[in-house]
Chains A and B, each alone.
Chain A
């Protein structure tokens, strides 16, 4: 009997359940892409804006601590004196002993209209205000913690779009076109997976890298701010920002990945697919801006994929629109593009292309 039988052996094991077969495609795709040095470099490079924004958040929330590293000039001293977290408070009535207690505890207060701005020193939080209110029998009707504006996160994500698009062009443009070029689709689909699972698997690869440069750093930035503010009230009051970060990111991620994948499926050449996607991402805004400047009509901005995404983003973050174009139209156009790309993908991802 041979030491090692090299003839065909039957497999005695049992197959895994059918669900999540698409993940095998995603997993292999992600691993393969991560082996490429330039993908890793691009991912690291995309962290630079995150670091700058994180530093900005630190500066905003820890002004006092930051001034310790600066020479004791007059301006720096002023900043240190001004430092602290500003809470916006509404109380019933205006009891003098409440303000007196605030002064005693070293909390600065300023009345602006019906609102009271209370500055709490670094290291303390809303608990100090609540404790004073309790001691003085004052009823707080509203207490808003300090926070970075939603526009800050919106702007951060808008800056990350550059990295997102570059990564998508680099990683996503060849995902399906290579399989079409090398006839791999028929062996994929001869296995027990559906065309939809194949698409989902490929989408998973593109979405993974997109999430790594948008949702993950965005949420991390929010977390950093929450930690630096050091008040659980912050999380309770601004939790919706995490939803806005995810919502806006996912809208951009799914629309742009579907565009790249659809173009990849329509072409046998990864470069052509990348060029087509680049045209949509960067040339369409250029054309839109040119037409707007010639005609003074904001409606031409609807041609721009980037503008439509940003316009929908402004709405998601609750910001006022920067143009006259309704965000609803922009959102509809993005949705229509996604639907078109999905149809193209479903029609192209087939084991056999029938030429009629």
Chain B
């Protein structure tokens, strides 16, 4: 769906994206990162709003530098900021953008009504868009992104400024679009629960670089258990024994290690490994991995590097 190769974008002297490379298939991708990490810049780069200093990429098989208009024809964009045209009713606003995308006038008007119903603005379709509340403005932005029936939606902070009910509804719509309507979705946010609710795949960006990328379930280690272990004496031999048992391990903070154990197994083999290598287990905690931990770990790791 999106392939990026060495994309570098600068704002004057500061580097916003530093040789970003990734490839995602979708259908629902979460673009995570702390504030100022470069998420919005990446989306703008995909749409061809910004000219990269280096690198290239494709969206749905079309070059982001060479086929900008084709990319925009296939992509719907929900920007982070409030974007409206004053003195225009919601239905006109949508029909206008439908026509701008090349839809015949009647089709654009009919589809505007349908989309407004779909996003929950059916009752407010004749109201001027500048009178909308923050939540309604998010919905109308989603509607304008959907008007030309895109194959991919780029959503930049789609639940920004929405109340809990509105947020739930928005997430439901995004989920519905990606799972049941066959439209790819790239959700850029720093709200991890939003991504967990909607996406299958994530790309974490930190300081303009890809910190981690992959399937959420895999990154969370949902198909295996994770133990936080601290041992005294013969630590290296203990770790070697774990590998011999077929377990993966990783250094963790305060001299602890993380041991990844297949789901059907318990901690028995860890104890056996300690016994065999003459190590003392001083700390053993079963850890339920969350996306937040994956995110924090990847961001911290990137910062340490």
Q: Is B2 located at the chain interface by the 8 A CB criterion?
A: no
Closest residue of A by beta carbon distance from B79: A186
A161→B118 CA distance, assembly (Å): 49
Decide if A28 touches B96 in the complex (CB within 8 Å): yes
Q: Is the CB of A11 within 8 A of B49?
A: no
Q: Is B126 an interface residue (CB 8 A)?
A: no
Interface core residue of B49, B73, B146 (most chain A CB under 10 Å): B49
Per-position binary interface string of chain B over residues 156-174, scored 1 when its CB falls under 8 Å from any chain A CB and 0 otherwise: 0000000000000000000
Known: A190-B77, A356-B12. A184 touches B85 (CB 8 A): yes
| Selected A-B contacts with CB under 8 Å, 26 pairs | A6-B122, A11-B103, A11-B148, A15-B101, A15-B102, A15-B103, A16-B102, A21-B100, A24-B96, A178-B85, A183-B79, A183-B81, A183-B82, A183-B83, A186-B49, A187-B77, A187-B141, A187-B144, A191-B100, A192-B72, A192-B100, A192-B102, A351-B47, A352-B49, A354-B11, A354-B12
Interface residue ranges, B against A (CB under 8 Å): 11-12, 44, 47, 49-50, 69-70, 72-73, 75-77, 79, 81-88, 96-97, 99-104, 107, 111, 114-115, 117-118, 122, 130, 141, 144, 146, 148-149, 176-177, 181-182
- State whether A350 touches B49 (Cβ < 8 A): yes
Q: How far is the CA of A194 from the CA of B122 in the complex (A)?
A: 31
A187 to B97, Cβ gap below 8 A? yes
Q: How far is the CA of A355 from the CA of B14 in the complex (A)?
A: 11
A184 CB contacts on chain B under 8 angstroms: 83-85
Q: Please state if A191 and B101 are interface contacts (CB–CB under 8 Å).
A: yes
Q: Other CB < 8 Å A-B pairs besides A178-B86, A192-B69, 18 of them? A: A6-B114, A8-B176, A13-B103, A15-B101, A16-B102, A24-B99, A178-B85, A182-B83, A182-B85, A183-B82, A183-B84, A186-B83, A190-B77, A191-B148, A192-B70, A192-B73, A350-B49, A356-B12
Does A10 interact with chain B (Cβ within 8 Å)? yes
Q: Identify the A interface with B (CB < 8 A).
A: 6-11, 13, 15-18, 21, 24-25, 28, 32, 178-179, 182-184, 186-194, 350-352, 354-356
| Best-buried of B73, B77, B83, B104 by chain A (most CB within 10 Å) | B83
Contact assessment for A191 and B50 in the assembled complex, using a CB-CB cutoff below 8 Å: no
- Let me know if A182 and B79 touch, CB within 8 A: no
Contact B177 A8 (CB under 8 A): yes
Provide the bound-state CA to CA distance between A297 and B149, in Å.
Answer: 64
Task: Give the nearest-CB partner of A201 in chain B.
Answer: B100
**CB pair A179 B50 closer than 8 Å:** no
Bound complex: CA A189 to CA B86 (Å): 17
What are the residues of chain B within 8 A of A192 when measuring CB–CB?
69-70, 72-73, 100-102
Who on chain A is nearest to B76 by CB? A190
A188 lies within 8 A of B100 (CB):
yes
The complex places the Cα of A188 from the Cα of B47 at a distance, in Å, of 12
B177 neighbours in A (Cβ, 8 Å): 8
Question: Which 10 pairs of residues, A with B, have the shortest CB-CB distance?
Answer: A15-B102, A356-B12, A11-B149, A190-B77, A351-B49, A192-B73, A183-B83, A16-B102, A192-B72, A6-B117
Residue ID in chain A nearest B72 by CB atoms: A192
Q: State A351–B154 Cα separation when bound (angstroms).
A: 15
Q: Enumerate chain A residues within 8 angstroms of B99, measured Cβ to Cβ.
A: 24
Say whether A24 contacts B100, CB under 8 Å: yes
Contact among A8, A18, A25, A352 for B69, CB-based, below 8 A: A18
Q: Given A11-B148, A18-B69, A187-B144, are A182 and B84 also a contact pair (CB < 8 Å)?
A: yes
Instruction: Give complex CA distance A59, B137 in Å.
Output: 61
Residues of B within 8 A of A194 (CB): 69
Say yes or no: A21 contacts B102, CB within 8 Å.
Answer: yes
Please give, as numbers and ranges, the residues of chain B lying within 8 Å of A17 by CB-CB distance: 102
Closest A residue, CB atoms, query B88: A32
Q: Once bound together, how far apart are the Cα atoms of A16 and B148, in whole Å?
A: 12
CB closest chain-B residue, reference A23: B99
Write the chain A residue with the least CB distance to B69: A192
| Given A16-B104, A350-B49: A182 in contact with B12 (beta carbons within 8 A) | no
Shortest distance between the CB of B99 and any CB in chain A (Å) = 5
- B80: min CB distance to chain A, Å: 9
CB of B20, distance to nearest CB on chain A (Å): 17
* Identity of the chain A residue whose Cβ is nearest the Cβ of B118 in the assembled complex: A8
A11 to B117 alpha-carbon distance, docked (Å): 15
Q: Which residues of A contact B73 (CB under 8 A)?
A: 15, 192
The complex places the Cα of A32 from the Cα of B148 at a distance, in Å, of 23
Q: Are B107 and A13 in contact (CB under 8 A)?
A: yes
How far is it, in angstroms, between the C-alpha of A101 and the C-alpha of B236 when the chains are bound? 130
Which A residues are CB-close (under 8 A) to B182? 10
Of A8, A15, A188, A356, which one neighbours B146 at CB under 8 angstroms?
A8
